[in-house]
Structure 1
Amino acid sequence: MTSEMILPPHSTEAEQSVIGSLLLDPQSDNCQRVLSMLKPETFYSRQHQAIFGVIRDMNAKHQTIDGLTVTDELESRGLIEQVGGLGYVMQISRGIPSTANVMAYAFKVRDTAIERYGIEQANRMLEVLYARNGMSTDEKLGAIQTLAMQLDDRTKSGNTRGAVTFADAFERWTHVVDRRLSGDARAIGLTSGIKSLDDMLEPKRIVRGSLFVVGARPKMGKTTLYLNMALNCANAEGLPAIAFSLEMPEEQIVERAISQFSGVSSTNFYLEGYDDNRFALASARALELAQNGNLYIDDTPGLSLSHIVSESRRIKRERGVVGMVLVDYLTLMKAEKAERNDLAYGIITKGLKALAKELNCVVVLLTQLNRDLEKRTNKRPQPSDSRDTGQIEQDCDYWLGIYREGAYDENANQQDTELLLRLNRHGQSGVVFVEQRYGAIYDVDQDVARQAKDRREEKNQRYAGKGGF
């Protein structure tokens, strides 16, 4: 047994060295980096928290910073005695001969702060497990995962969640804007892989933290678009994409992904005597996708929201980032008990929206539309057509419907497809024309496709006027 008190991780010497460097040469590049990197609460000592806070405030006001001016400011705020008086401040300012190593001192201060935060989070996890407050085991594990994600965020970004001042939020925003303007692709949204749709979504693209809903009747191409977005995220964006499939097994997803990625029809994988060159191309592209390591597939039957959240968090912890989480499709998911189906599925859509925000990724959710839309003359889908999912319009940031006239008219071009962006909280909405061929989506000339559609509709109207229908 020992009577010595175990103190939380900290380094008094590193904290003194950081403050001493700031008092010596506050306008140097490294010292300015330290002022933007650390916060008063990063320091363990209450004395050092107060001194650093004053220095940071004075720097923001472009005031002169040295031992005397900082002491005067501390005295005007009534903090001089709390920090140990004039003597302690001057002792720190004289104790540093050079600011050359200030970044090393700052990293030491930050690292020990993260260790202290880790201890706090670990204690909170233990409290959750010990608590007898009616929470189920799954709920407790979910709470622990949330605490672990907060620790992960703090480790990677230095930020914690919860209420922050506008000044802190503004500072973070300016860093993001600087990254955008400098061409950092990670500071803007994601692309879909369909140029005409991406052009419509510019300049924000698909904003991170968003729920992107795709709605359509069967056989319209929901899964094709879902895979197109997943492949684009994994390959072109170079970010992890997690494809949760409740409709198709893993083997079918892999086969369709290879076909889409290579442009080789999947029928080639069934016919004896297939074209060796095309099969070699498909194999090469499949190997490229496998080595890329960014595409994840989960075909667990009856997926629940908690499973999707858990797996997505795991991959975020392992990879540090997630680009897209894609779910095919909503009404096949295991929903919680509720008075009505729309309420049960509303819990899922809210949870997926929260997941997008938590992981700073895009969640793509497919949904089956109500068959009543087929009774309308104009069968192009609307957000209100979502089956048992009235909440979806409130939760989603984007709502895109898919319409293929060939599904209703065998004489129509079976490849022509319309992507109807009905809702876009971050920009404009509209219609994009594409073609679906051999299980893949291809962009087309938008003006030519729009003119062809107008001619077709004009012809149908004339035919209807003559009693042709």
Structure 2
Amino acid sequence: MTDSIFTPPHNLEAEQSVLGSLLIDDDSSERVQKVLSILKPESFYSRAHQVIFEEMRQMYRENKPVDGLTLYDALESKGLASQVGGFAYLSELTKVMPSAANSVAYAISVREAAMERYGIQRMTEATELFYARNGMTAAQKYEAIQAIFTHMAEHGRTGIRRGARPFMEVMEDWVTELEGRFDPRQRARGLSTGIASLDEMLQPKGLVRGSLLVIGARPKMGKTTLYSQLAINCAISEDLPAVLFSLEMPDKQILERMVGQLSGCNTDIFYRGADNQSEFSHANARAMQMAESGNLFIDDTPGASLSHIFSESRRIKREKGKVGMVLVDYLTLMTAEKADRNDLAYGMITKGLKSLAKELDCVVVLLTQLNRDLEKRTNKRPLPSDSRDTGQIEQDCDYWLGIYREGAYDENANQSDTELLLRLNRHGNSGVVYCEQRNGSIYDTDQVAAENKRRELEEKPRNRKGGF
């Protein structure tokens, strides 16, 4: 056994070369900007190098010239010069640096060692968790360690660490994202839904990442239709992975429904045959489009628990590098933890799904059934308070969307007319979006004409039938 086994990974020569390159390279050099984007002060193993890099970075932010003398003066003014070896060490940095042209390669080497040290730190935390006698069950410890693995994978791709971060570091990430929002080549804004009028209502933010979207409705209103349509839009239009947890329908039925939605074909053709071969060919082409995107994942595990959804979603995030949406159909079919009341048990699930959205930086879509009591009202349009078995939903969700079809209660009404009622939107506007459901798909419609039609119908006596 030698002492080197216990020495954390580091490369002092590469650290010196990076700092030396920054001292002699031109301030406006593309290499300098690249190095500053790759590294953070904590990327350096040497404490002296951390102090030097932090001061240099601050000088670059303030557009001050950076060389040995100006850097020394800046450190001296803060009483830090002696901690880093004084002017002599700063001068030495420019001599040991082989070539400023290779500064980016040196920075990557420094970052690689820093990532390995971070991995060792997090794995140590995982080991300590197993030894700890803190009241957690073994299953809970496994789940916590899975979260650690997810954070490590994210750190490997982005360099972002979890935990308390300095305001300046958070602001740097925010500025980078802000620039991306105005770049048409990037997708730094929130996600779209694929329904133009709903997307317009959600503008300019869209469905904000890290949010929980709850879709509530009575049976046969179109919850699963909207659920699968959101997934298709995420996978095809947004080019982001969508993970569907279907606790009600088998995976093959979900797939069949999605093929029908994307192709515009009535799924009856998969049972009675198509009137012409081109219809089958078109449906098959759309099925292959979804398959080849590599962005759609379906899990039909019966009674899936929250921990199962966490585990599978994290796995997809590690494998694909990102997740756009996690969709769950539906809340009361999930296996809940034991609690005194159902509302408390399901409240734990909604809190957990909100946490998952934040952890994976995605949108979590949760379907929920509504209480039958709403059908006793004159106006049967759903409200967040109608959610079955939980009063926690209103507190946890960022968006609450109800679905209403007049045709479910009035046999004389147009059976395709549908209202999407955005009752709650913590990030922007709320309101009603009118659309049509045909052949298992949702289509946008003229909003002004649909609103006028609704007003005309409400003025006429209606022949209602019993609800579901």
Is 1:229 matched up with 2:249? no
Identify the residue that residue 94 of structure 1 maps to in structure 2. Answer: 95
What are the residue-to-residue correspondences of 1:432-443 with 2, within 5 Å? 432-443=433-444
What are the residue-to-residue correspondences of 1:42-441 with 2, within 5 Å? 42-96=43-97, 98-271=99-272, 274-441=275-442
My pick for the range that moved more, 194-203 or 321-330, is: 194-203
Structure 1 position 166, deviation (Å): 1.8
Structure 1 position 274, deviation (Å): 4.7
Residues in 1 aligned to 2:183 and 2:300: alpha-carbon distance in whole angstroms: 39
- CA distance 1:106–1:458, change in 2 (3 Å): same
Structure 1 position 71, deviation (Å): 1.7
**1:81 alignment partner, SS class:** helix
Structure 2 counterpart of 1:158, one-letter code = G
Residues in 1 aligned to 2:179 and 2:276: alpha-carbon distance in whole angstroms: 51
**2:84 alignment partner, SS class:** coil
Identify the residue that residue 14 of structure 1 maps to in structure 2. Answer: 14
Preserved CA contact (<8 Å) 2:353 2:364 = yes
Residues in 1 aligned to 2:3 and 2:325: alpha-carbon distance in whole angstroms: 52
- CA distance 1:293–1:273, change in 2 (3 Å): closer
Structure 1 position 416, deviation (Å): 0.6
Structure 1 position 26, deviation (Å): 5.1
Residues in 2 aligned to 1:382 and 1:320: alpha-carbon distance in whole angstroms: 36
Residues in 2 aligned to 1:252 and 1:179: alpha-carbon distance in whole angstroms: 38
Any idea what the Cα deviations from partners look like across 1:180-219, whole Å, max 9, x if unmatched? 1112442011111111111111111111111011000001
Structure 1 position 438, deviation (Å): 1.4
Structure 1 position 421, deviation (Å): 0.6
Identify the residue that residue 467 of structure 1 maps to in structure 2. Answer: none
How many residues align structurally?
463
Identify the residue that residue 40 of structure 2 maps to in structure 1. Answer: 39
Structure 2 counterpart of 1:289, one-letter code = M
Residues in 2 aligned to 1:452 and 1:72: alpha-carbon distance in whole angstroms: 74
Preserved CA contact (<8 Å) 2:154 2:321 = no
Any idea what the Cα deviations from partners look like across 1:399-423, whole Å, max 9, x if unmatched? 1100001100111111111001111
Any idea what the Cα deviations from partners look like across 1:267-291, whole Å, max 9, x if unmatched? 1111157543322221221122222
Residues in 1 aligned to 2:160 and 2:137: alpha-carbon distance in whole angstroms: 30
Any idea what the Cα deviations from partners look like across 1:84-124, whole Å, max 9, x if unmatched? 23211111123347521111111111111001111111211
Residues in 2 aligned to 1:4 and 1:367: alpha-carbon distance in whole angstroms: 57
Preserved CA contact (<8 Å) 2:274 2:280 = no
Residues in 2 aligned to 1:185 and 1:79: alpha-carbon distance in whole angstroms: 41
My pick for the range that moved more, 134-143 or 416-425, is: 134-143
Structure 1 position 3, deviation (Å): 5.5
My pick for the range that moved more, 360-369 or 277-286, is: 277-286
Preserved CA contact (<8 Å) 1:338 1:344 = yes
Residues in 2 aligned to 1:92 and 1:66: alpha-carbon distance in whole angstroms: 11
Q: What is the Cα-based RMSD across aligned positions, in Å? A: 1.7
Normalised TM-score (structure 1): 0.95
- CA distance 1:77–1:272, change in 2 (3 Å): closer
Structure 1 position 382, deviation (Å): 0.6
Structure 1 position 349, deviation (Å): 0.5
Residues in 1 aligned to 2:306 and 2:100: alpha-carbon distance in whole angstroms: 51
- CA distance 1:119–1:193, change in 2 (3 Å): same
Residues in 2 aligned to 1:306 and 1:395: alpha-carbon distance in whole angstroms: 18
Residues in 1 aligned to 2:337 and 2:351: alpha-carbon distance in whole angstroms: 13
Structure 2 counterpart of 1:349, one-letter code = T
Structure 1 position 5, deviation (Å): 5.4
Structure 1 counterpart of 2:270, one-letter code = F
Any idea what the Cα deviations from partners look like across 1:376-399, whole Å, max 9, x if unmatched? 000000111111121101111111
Residues in 2 aligned to 1:19 and 1:4: alpha-carbon distance in whole angstroms: 25
Residues in 1 aligned to 2:344 and 2:160: alpha-carbon distance in whole angstroms: 34
Structure 1 counterpart of 2:217, one-letter code = A
Preserved CA contact (<8 Å) 1:34 1:106 = yes
Structure 2 counterpart of 1:137, one-letter code = A
Residues in 2 aligned to 1:227 and 1:3: alpha-carbon distance in whole angstroms: 57
Stretches of structure 1 that go unaligned for 5 or more consecutive residues are 465-469
Preserved CA contact (<8 Å) 1:26 1:32 = no
Structure 1 position 24, deviation (Å): 1.0
Structure 1 position 167, deviation (Å): 1.5
Residues in 1 aligned to 2:33 and 2:279: alpha-carbon distance in whole angstroms: 57
Residues in 1 aligned to 2:132 and 2:82: alpha-carbon distance in whole angstroms: 42
Any idea what the Cα deviations from partners look like across 1:327-380, whole Å, max 9, x if unmatched? 000011111111211111111001101111111111010000011000000000
Residues in 2 aligned to 1:426 and 1:3: alpha-carbon distance in whole angstroms: 54
My pick for the range that moved more, 427-436 or 70-79, is: 70-79
My pick for the range that moved more, 401-410 or 437-446, is: 437-446
Residues in 2 aligned to 1:376 and 1:32: alpha-carbon distance in whole angstroms: 63
**1:71 alignment partner, SS class:** helix
Stretches of structure 2 that go unaligned for 5 or more consecutive residues are none
Normalised TM-score (structure 2): 0.95
My pick for the range that moved more, 137-146 or 31-40, is: 31-40
Structure 1 counterpart of 2:158, one-letter code = S
Any idea what the Cα deviations from partners look like across 1:27-76, whole Å, max 9, x if unmatched? 12211332233111110011211111221222223333211221222223
Residues in 2 aligned to 1:361 and 1:394: alpha-carbon distance in whole angstroms: 19
Residues in 2 aligned to 1:185 and 1:378: alpha-carbon distance in whole angstroms: 43
